[in-house]
Each structure stands twice: as structure tokens, then as C-alpha cells.
Amino acid sequence: MNKQMIKDILAWLDAASDESIQLKQDELKRLLKTSLSDRKADIKFALRLVEEEVISRSEVMMFVGKQD
């Protein structure tokens, strides 16, 4: 995966809704099961970025909830 692709994924994650992130996460999991081995590393990396974003968003929501 090249640097521009990583930048594009991060930019998309920054702007994506929770629903579209969930859909992309599901799609990446399906791709991981069916892809050739030379693509699996890229898919795993993208999936890890998506999962980190999901965790970050949930942590922010927990923090905001404690503020109220």
C-alpha cells in the first residue's frame, strides 16, 4: 500500500459516518476471506485503520458522556 492510499483512507475515515465505516469494515472482512495472499496484508492494514477509528470514536463518546 502506498503513502497516497494511506492518506486517502485516513481522510475518508475522518469524514465518514459511523454507518459507512461499519459497511466498509464488513466489506474488508469479506475481502480478507476471499482475496489472494498478496493482497491480504493491505486489506489487514486497512481493516486495522478502520478498527482503530471505531475504537477512537467509541472512546470519545464515552468521554463526552462522562462530561454531562
Which of 68, 31, 35, 65 is closest to 50 using CA atoms? 31
pLDDT at 67 over 60: yes
Task: Look up residue 54 and give its amino acid.
Answer: V
Residue 44, helix vs strand vs coil: helix
- pLDDT mean across residues, the chain: 93
Give tens-digit pLDDT for 5-23: 999 999 999 999 999 999 9
pLDDT at 35 over 70: yes
Q: Could you tell me if 46 and 9 are in contact, meaning their C-beta atoms sit under 8 angstroms apart?
A: yes
pLDDT at position 46:
96
pLDDT at 68 over 90: no
